[in-house]
Chains A and B, each alone.
Chain A
Amino acid sequence: MIEIKDLKKVYAGVTVVDIPYLKISKGESIGLIGNNGAGKTTLFRIMLDLIRPEHGEVTSNGENVALHENWKNYTASFLDEGFLIDYLTPEEYFYFIGGLHQQTRAHVDDFLTSLTDFFNGEVLKRGKYIRDLSKGNQCKVGVAACLLQKPELLMLDEPFANIDPSTQIRLKNMIKQMSRSEGLTTLVSSHDLNHVTEVCERILLMEKGKIIKDIATSSSTLKELEEYFSVAINPFQV
């Protein structure tokens, strides 16, 4: 579904993304991990054509994302609050996003009803603009807007960071269920190794812009990752 070739991005002499080749097949669920500054968000942004790489290309279904726009029809993503129109109410925002995908209001309403548990009564009909919601609830709006688009490819940047434990569990189940039953391809970054190993079948570990580990999740993965990160934080340990 997605192919990355020869991708390189340099900021002020520092290489932040450097990926010779990466292939993501349809239906895979990928976890992207790495310490701060490893290049996760930059990679996401390049894949969404928000940043122009120095060279290399990202293709989605065979089309270069920088030259075509078809990928927007089947790709839903939420990286940060900058993706939300913050002076709209959540309802207005959902209707707007739904409208872009030719969904009627009734359809959007139906969909929102199915998320009642997920919202936990804190998002809809609260008489607030998105900018007045808490970070966690803004994240819920972003994720819900992604699901509303019925995507084939879902990209979330640290979706678990700001939301409460119940929602974390719900979100994990939703992602797992969608990738199993609808063949959704997911790409999720997180700092929480437990979450990623639980949801994702394949883990990509980034360090200084490079993907240094590409592993299929197994029962020993979590331990392996924990070892890597504890070494990484302790420079005195040889």
Chain B
Amino acid sequence: MTLTFIQHELKSFWRSKNTSKSVTIRIVMGFLILILLLYVVVLGFYLDTILEQSFPGENLIIAFSGMLLYYFVFDLLMRFQMQELPTLTVQPYLHLPVSRNTVVTYLSLVSLKSVFNLWPFIISLPFILKIIKPEQGLNTALLFIAAITGLTIFNNYLSLYIKRRSNLNGWVSICFSIFLVLLTLSDFSWHIISFRNLSLLFFGNIKAHPLLVLIPLALSCIIYYINFLYLKHNLYLEELGSRKISHKSSTDIPLLDRFGRVGELVANEVKLILRNKRSRSSVLMTTMILFYGLIFYTNKYYGDGWKVFCGMFMTGIFIINYGQFMFGWQAGHFDGILISKIKFQDFLKAKYILFTIVSSAAFLLTLPYAYFGWHIILVHFVMYLWNIGVNTTIVLFFANRNYKRIDLSRGASFNWEGVGATQLLLGFPLFLLPFVIYGPVAFFGHPDIALGLLAAIGLLFVLTRQYWIKQLEEDFYEKKYTIAEGFRAK
């Protein structure tokens, strides 16, 4: 039976729309994932060098052992944020003559296939094989691996268990978050406990007392069993699902009323963003970008060119990140839009207004970077103009060529749905164009003229919006059947 389940699981992976149809995209995606993996592998291989430089003069193995527990606390935090509950996959089996134990076992095992369970091994295995094995022998190396396996599994099921509990009761998640924060504070600020010492106490003594390895293994078994029991007693769809039931109320966004019909469309899109998981999390991610400046502006090494780069990203990340999937966000009701009395011009104007509002807000939020000099604000303003002028139009031009629907109810992290050739192609003009203009002029010693040029072009596009809307509209009428068809395909 479990074998059949695994077969179904494999089929669902290969046949899902996420696993993109076209070969080129698959290759490019695979390539990107490979690069990401490669980074982690490289991190793993150079862990000893990194540790050597971070803790000069200290024994490498002690430094490593001291870090391990920190890693797992961090891991738990990340899992809690990003790991998805593998739930609905069991729905088609619940009414069939399959025993509950089998279903629950399957559900539990399937959750192990998360990428989070790979990281610890990719990072730590090279170090264990390179340093620990030669110095302390194969047995100790195996003990380390066993302990890390135990902790990984423990984290896996603990985060799932808590996530499931918090689905039924929101307080659980709040309490757990507070607990994690207190735990971190009590180490870093209050110095009541020290993960480093705890970690050392365990991993430092593992060679002398091999039986210690049973602790993480036992812990992982216990949490697996708790999780198992919990699932078994709560194997009901409405309790497993990640849907919370709460009262939803109608809201108005009065500010947008002054834009009339178009304002209503903007208000709808704002609701779309706020009321759906995928869009919400993708927008939340974009707010992180606002801190980019802290990386680049604090370091004298990065010159003016980086300011252009940073300025574009910080004031325009919403346009880039949210815009790249347009109009896929509205795939669920695209037919409804097409048959209703919405003029496509208005539809486009609404997008422009939304982009302008969010970009303006982002520009205002970056004003504190004036601390690093007013010139930065000037660059930000120029790139803000560029964003609301040029980049909005580029993004909408590609939106007319995006035929992939997006399921709004799923999270954004590690979600490749809706990603296709359009997004990759979109990257080129978006990232290269400003530098094609800025680069040569600045290279010959006139960075101010280069900035002026960018600003002028941005402004020109803002002033000629009406013209671009017309062009995009004509373009859309040619593509709309293909777009609608793509969005209908679930």
Q: Which residue of B264, B408, B485 contacts A87 across the interface (Cβ within 8 Å)? A: B408
Q: Is the CB of B488 within 8 A of A127?
A: no
Q: Which residue of A75, A83, A91, A96 contacts B264 across the interface (Cβ within 8 Å)? A: A96
Which B residues are in CB contact (< 8 Å) with A115? none
Is A215 engaged at the interface, CB distance under 8 Å to the other chain?
A: no
Which A residues are in CB contact (< 8 Å) with B268? 85, 88, 96
Q: Is the CB of B332 within 8 A of A82?
A: yes
A54 to B306: give the CA distance in the assembly, Å.
Answer: 52
Q: Is the CB of B485 within 8 A of A51?
A: yes
Is A52 engaged at the interface, CB distance under 8 Å to the other chain?
A: yes
Q: Which residue of A48, A73, A79, A92 contacts B250 across the interface (Cβ within 8 Å)? A: A92
Which A residues are in CB contact (< 8 Å) with B99? none
Number of interface residues of B (CB under 8 A): 30
Which A residues are in CB contact (< 8 Å) with B408? 87
Main secondary structure of the interface of A (DSSP, over half): loop
CB distance from B476 to the nearest CB of A (A): 13
* A83-B333 contact given A99-B264, A127-B248, A132-B248, CB 8 Å threshold: yes
Is A84 engaged at the interface, CB distance under 8 Å to the other chain?
A: yes
B window 284-321: CB within 8 A of A: none
B window 465-490: CB within 8 A of A: 481, 484-485, 488
B window 315-344: CB within 8 A of A: 332-336, 338-343
The size class of the interface chain A forms with chain B is 20 to 34
A129 to B485: give the CA distance in the assembly, Å.
Answer: 25
A129 to B332: give the CA distance in the assembly, Å.
Answer: 14
* A91-B250 contact given A50-B339, A99-B261, CB 8 Å threshold: yes
A100 to B488: give the CA distance in the assembly, Å.
Answer: 24
Which B residues are in CB contact (< 8 Å) with A79? 335
Q: Is the CB of B248 within 8 A of A84?
A: no
Please, which residue of chain A has its CB at the minimum distance from the CB of B481?
A52
Is A101 engaged at the interface, CB distance under 8 Å to the other chain?
A: yes
Encode A211-222 as 1/0 by CB contact (under 8 A) with B.
Answer: 000000000000
A50 to B339: give the CA distance in the assembly, Å.
Answer: 8
Which B residues are in CB contact (< 8 Å) with A185? none
Is A107 engaged at the interface, CB distance under 8 Å to the other chain?
A: no
Which A residues are in CB contact (< 8 Å) with B338? 48-50
Q: Is the CB of B248 within 8 A of A97?
A: no
A window 6-59: CB within 8 A of B: 45, 48-52
Which A residues are in CB contact (< 8 Å) with B276? 87
Q: Which residue of A50, A72, A100, A129 contacts B484 across the interface (Cβ within 8 Å)? A: A50
Q: What are the 5 A-B residue pairs with the smallest beta carbon separation, nearest first? A: A127-B247, A83-B336, A52-B481, A87-B275, A100-B341
CB-defined A-B contacts under 8 Å, sample of 7: A83-B335, A86-B332, A89-B250, A96-B264, A96-B268, A127-B247, A132-B248
